[in-house]
Homo-oligomer: A and B are copies of this chain.
Amino acid sequence: MSGIKDVAILAGVAVGTVSRVINNTGAVKPETRRKVKAAIEQLNYVPNEVARNFKMQKSKMVALMLPSIWHPFFSELAYYIEDELDREGYKLMLCNSGGKPEKELYYLDMLEQNKVAGIVGITYNDIENNVSTDIPIISIDRHFSKKITCVTSDNFEGGRLALRELVKAGSKKPAFMGSVTSVFSETMNRREGFVQEAEALGVEYIVYEESDPVQDDESYYGNFIKRYQDVDGVFAITDMFAAKYIEYAKQQGIRVPEDVKVIGYDGIQDHTYFHPVISTIRQPVEEMARLAIKLLFKKIEGETLDRDTYRIPITFRKGETT
């Protein structure tokens, strides 16, 4: 493995000169440049990026921390984030926290030690107080504080839109179906929007919210169905919630959309091969991803951002459930 020194010797110049040729910095005579390039060619030299990162005290690595890449929403997000990073020659490090706070902290430590250039996080911890150095951070869908810029879909408008669409589809008594995972989560606003719009329109509504349905789907959806027999519309906080509800409802002989209209949130289905195709509030995932990275780059460059939360408009996508 030859280094810059070998190139310098072969080309008969100093290492500094080789460095300047490689990085196109400073002035170097065409003739010298030619010699150096020839030497590089001959030795099959490739710059050692690790050494460079070390010397420069910074790397072109950005970490993406999320609960699980397995979830379709996150994998779509990761896809666009990687793409956007690559455009600027940055690399992506993937950290699955499993949604476990202690693992988030552990990863944060690790990222600090590894001097990543920035972090995009979808976390439960308020990472602000746990990251000691000033690594630039953008969070998605979580609002912590001014220091950590948040990119999110317009959840509030999403909630309002969902309510309106349910009503438009004929629902007289719609319900919001959700759960609470993190107090920092922006997703709360979906409920807020839903409620506010219902009140504004004078529509009777229900709010069903339990802390962690993941533990026991059976009782979460069973209880809902049993308790609110007269509900004829459901705005589920997530497409997965919607899908599960529909499945349980079907088992109880409830037909969707005939008996109950259902709208989800996310838009994880990008095709129509699996049914039901859920009517949903589509998150602008690509836009969110690209914006997040662009903002992160600005922070890395030292710019200060003009806002602490960036909300991107959502759209309704009609499926088979309304």
Chain A interface residues toward B at CB < 8 A: 1, 44, 46-51, 53-54, 57, 59, 61, 68-72, 74-76, 78-79, 82-83, 86, 91-96, 109-110, 112-115, 132-133, 240, 243-244, 246-247, 271-276
Residues in B with CB closer than 8 Å to A244 are 273
Q: Is the CB of A46 within 8 A of B79?
A: no
Q: Is the CB of B109 within 8 A of A96?
A: no
Residues in B with CB closer than 8 Å to A114 are 49-50, 91
Copies held by the complex: 2
Name 21 interchain pairs, CB-CB below 8 A, sorted by A: A44-B132, A47-B113, A48-B113, A48-B115, A49-B115, A50-B53, A51-B54, A53-B54, A69-B69, A69-B75, A69-B78, A70-B78, A74-B75, A75-B78, A78-B94, A82-B94, A94-B94, A243-B273, A246-B273, A275-B275, A275-B276
Whole-angstrom CA separation of A163 from B50 in the bound complex: 51
A114 CB → nearest B CB, Å: 5
Residue of B nearest to A107 (CB): B86
Residue of B nearest to A57 (CB): B50
Residues in B with CB closer than 8 Å to A53 are 50, 54
Residues in B with CB closer than 8 Å to A274 are 243, 274-276
Using known A-B contacts A51-B54, A82-B96, determine if residue A91 contacts B110 with beta carbons closer than 8 Å. yes
Residues in B with CB closer than 8 Å to A49 are 110, 113-115
Residue of B nearest to A132 (CB): B44
Q: Is the CB of B96 within 8 A of A93?
A: no
Whole-angstrom CA separation of A1 from B115 in the bound complex: 12
A154 CB → nearest B CB, Å: 23
Q: Is the CB of B92 within 8 A of A46?
A: no
Whole-angstrom CA separation of A276 from B275 in the bound complex: 7
A296 CB → nearest B CB, Å: 16
Q: Is the CB of A115 within 8 A of B50?
A: yes
Whole-angstrom CA separation of A72 from B76 in the bound complex: 10
